[in-house]
Amino acid sequence: AQSVTQPDIHITVSEGASLELRCNYSYGATPYLFWYVQSPGQGLQLLLKYFSGDTLVQGIKGFEAEFKRSQSSFNLRKPSVHWSDAAEYFCAVGGGGSYIPTFGRGTSLIVHP
């Protein structure tokens, strides 16, 4: 069975600083990997996804993520955080017979001015 771990419950950064949110997955084969963002009071929105090919994936809003098979990781990065990036971020993994992704517990991003 697949699983996702987001080790950080909360991350606090200053506006303009760089950001890295961690995601580790467990899955036997090549996984499908996703990052979603949930702004307060809103539904989830897809930031980016990895299915195959280039391991560095570009997404919306200036985000990118890198798939590292050796570390079973898919960390999300942004070079300069904006106050509007404050939200909950979810990593998800999918694969095999079930095409419903398994979501991590989320990381709450707090941005200080």
53 near other proteins, judged by CB under 8 A: no
86 near other proteins, judged by CB under 8 A: no
The rounded Cα 21 to chain-centroid distance in angstroms is 7
Report which residue type is found at 7: P
100 near other proteins, judged by CB under 8 A: yes
Work out the burial of residue 19: count CB atoms within 10 Å of its CB; fewer than 13 is exposed, 13-18 middle, 19 or more buried.
Answer: middle
End-to-end CA distance of the chain: 41
Structure tokens at 19: 């950001």
46 near other proteins, judged by CB under 8 A: yes
41 near other proteins, judged by CB under 8 A: yes
We find the least distance from the C-beta atom of residue 16 to other proteins, in angstroms, to be 27
Provide the binding-site residues for other proteins, judged by CB under 8 A: 32, 36, 41-46, 49, 51, 88, 90, 94, 98-101, 103, 105-106
